[in-house]
Amino acid sequence: MSITLEQAEAAIKAAKQKAEELGTLMNIAVIDAGVNLTAFARMDGAWLGSIDISIKKAKTARFFNMNTGDIGALSQPGGPLYNIEHSNNGLISFPGGVLIKNEKGDIIGAIGVSGSTVENDHAVAVAGAEAL
Amino acid sequence: MSITLEQAEAAIKAAKQKAEELGTLMNIAVIDAGVNLTAFARMDGAWLGSIDISIKKAKTARFFNMNTGDIGALSQPGGPLYNIEHSNNGLISFPGGVLIKNEKGDIIGAIGVSGSTVENDHAVAVAGAEAL
Amino acid sequence: MSITLEQAEAAIKAAKQKAEELGTLMNIAVIDAGVNLTAFARMDGAWLGSIDISIKKAKTARFFNMNTGDIGALSQPGGPLYNIEHSNNGLISFPGGVLIKNEKGDIIGAIGVSGSTVENDHAVAVAGAEAL
Amino acid sequence: MSITLEQAEAAIKAAKQKAEELGTLMNIAVIDAGVNLTAFARMDGAWLGSIDISIKKAKTARFFNMNTGDIGALSQPGGPLYNIEHSNNGLISFPGGVLIKNEKGDIIGAIGVSGSTVENDHAVAVAGAEAL
């Protein structure tokens, strides 16, 4: 079970709407269950450095089956997963990466959002994930 | 002058329609004038190795302001740009990367397509580029 | 549908037996349908440079759903996919990477073998893939 | 003196048994004295991001001849090896990488485990290392 392009595009559409509501400009990436890029959109004027971050957030969420912020809570100095970000060609462990599940609760992919505060990034990612 | 997300999504939509007409499954990437990923879509079941190739084709076209196949003609053994593919973290120099221009003829981005023969890849990329 | 560890280990076991029959020392890698490493074994004394090659062969086969040698036939100078090896962090396009399918014919992963001639590498990979 | 494939597979078998006892799904990597991958297994459903981490843990242990957690104690902010994780294409310095020694106490390789808490990862790695 993996996300389809139609589902990924629906997630991106919902995420863009949420981003517009918040007055933000976002990069939005969706990957499938196998951690492969499925769809991507950068809103006009969004940070260029956030292309890579949004993709890495989506991948990081699926790599460990948890939202990215949960990993960041464990990777701080003195924490159990300190500097885990050096694995997998670079993780992003702050909020904005959220798992996408189907109706049965199976993980079918993940969405990563970057372009504003981590609170806004997370809110936009959740809006995308919940569109399915 | 650079491509907008709306234009990029129109290019991807047109490319997908052409891909379906040809009975192919494609990865389609659009980058802006600054060589930054703007939009991406992988049709369900398209080759996983073509994610990277479609992005590299789009970048390669804009890096040198020519379609990718034109670079490949110069990068052969004995040619003036032999093995230029080693630059820029990897180029793809066979057909499927096409420049996107506006009405005035200004280059505003590029589209890269991968998933079938190079002839089909090129035809789908042209369909996307001409949608604008 | 993706290969299980039990199936991957059965493939490696069969490949090792074939390698011993041929009097060769092989690196053997199995990846799943999502192009993620599932199992690996290096026979004692096998080439160290073949660790990476065996993994890349398995990935290359799945990236494009064909045996690696078929890609190499297309990536020669003057061929349609010249220098495709620069994509995906490095492909290996000579024989030794073979798709693994289930009884229904679905692709569930791939096996990559490296350590001898490409003919032997391919024969060992086929033995592994056919063990399922 | 370096670990054999037979020994590496015995270590992985013992580690898998321990992982099952703990109710966890692990990625398990064994490298030899020369820091080269010797054997690997990913239990069905184990985190995809832990493939790379398990391999990096095994390598990190052998790079410095100490268990990975010991390095993490030195790589914290203000510590003597602050951010050593940037070396060698990425280290993992939290627990789960353990040296493998022969009867004489010679280091013959290392095992890296990733997929659960660092306590479980370490326990599974120790079980694998002690199987020899």
Amino acid letter at C118?
V
What is the pLDDT, as a whole number, of residue A23? 98
- Smallest CA–CA distance from A66 into chain D, residue: D47
Neighbours of A, requiring at least 3 CB pairs below 8 Å, are: B, C, D
More reliable by pLDDT, D76 or C132: D76
Partners of A32 on chain C (C-beta within 8 Å) are 34
pLDDT at D4 over 90: yes
Q: Is A36 on the interface with D (CB under 8 A)?
A: no
Number of Cβ pairs closer than 8 Å across A and C?
11
Residues of chain A in contact with residue B11, where contact means CB-CB under 8 angstroms, are: none
Give me the residues paired with residue C111 across strands.
Answer: C30, C98
Convert the pLDDT of each residue in A71-128 to its tens digit.
999 999 999 999 999 999 999 999 999 999 999 999 999 999 999 999 999 999 999 9
Contact criterion met (CB < 8 Å) for A44 and B4: yes
Per-residue confidence (pLDDT) for residue C114, from 0 to 100: 98
Q: Per-residue pLDDT for C117 more than 90?
A: yes
- pLDDT for the residue numbered B1: 87
Assess A33–D contact: CB distance below 8 Å, yes or no: no
Q: Which amino acid is at B21?
A: E
Shortest CA distance from C63: residue in chain A:
A36
Taking only the tens place, the pLDDT of each residue in C65-74 is 999 999 999 9
Six token digits for residue B105: 């003829």
What is the distance in angstroms between the Cα of B117 and the nearest Cα belonging to chain C?
8
Does the beta carbon of B116 lie under 8 angstroms from any beta carbon of chain C?
Answer: no
Is the pLDDT at D115 greater than 90, yes or no? yes
Beta-sheet pairing, D27-32 with D107-114: antiparallel
Token pair of B42 as six digits: 């992988």
Contact in structure between A120 and A8 (CB atoms under 8 Å): no
Are the beta carbons of C41 and D4 separated by less than 8 Å?
A: no
> Which segments of C13-115 are extended strands (E)?
27-32, 37-42, 97-101, 107-114
Taking 90 as the threshold, does the pLDDT of residue C82 lie above it? yes
**Sign of the dihedral through C-alpha D101, D120, D49, A6:** positive
Q: Which domains does chain A have, with CATH numbers?
A: 5-129 (3.30.450.150)
- pLDDT of C1 above 90: no
CB contact under 8 A, A39 and B38: no
The residues facing D98 across adjacent strands are D111
Tens of pLDDT along A60-80? 999 999 999 999 999 999 999
The residue among A6, A7, A17 whose CA lies nearest residue A102 is A7
Sort out which chain C residues have CB atoms less than 8 A from B72's CB and list them: 82-83
Q: In which element (H, E) is residue B109 found?
A: strand B107-114
Q: With contact defined as beta carbons under 8 Å apart, do D116 and D94 qualify?
A: no
Measure the CA–CA gap between D84 and D102, rounded to whole angstroms.
28
pLDDT in tens, B28-37: 999 999 999 9
Q: For residue B99, give the 3-state DSSP assignment.
A: strand
The pLDDT value recorded for residue A1 is 83
From B116's Cα to the closest Cα of chain A, the distance in A is: 17
Alpha helices (H) in chain D, listed in sequence order: 5-21, 50-64, 68-72, 118-129
* Segment A21-53, tens digit of pLDDT: 999 999 999 999 999 999 999 999 999 999 999
- The answer to whether D130 faces chain A, any CB pair under 8 Å, is no
Query: Is 0.85 exceeded by the ipTM?
Result: yes
Q: In this predicted model, which residue has the larger pLDDT, A1 or D43? A: D43
Task: Quote the crossing angle between the two packed helices C118-129 and C5-21, to the nearest 10°.
Answer: 140
Residue C90 banded pLDDT, cuts 50, 70, 90: very high
Q: Where residue D1 falls among pLDDT bands split at 50, 70, 90? A: confident
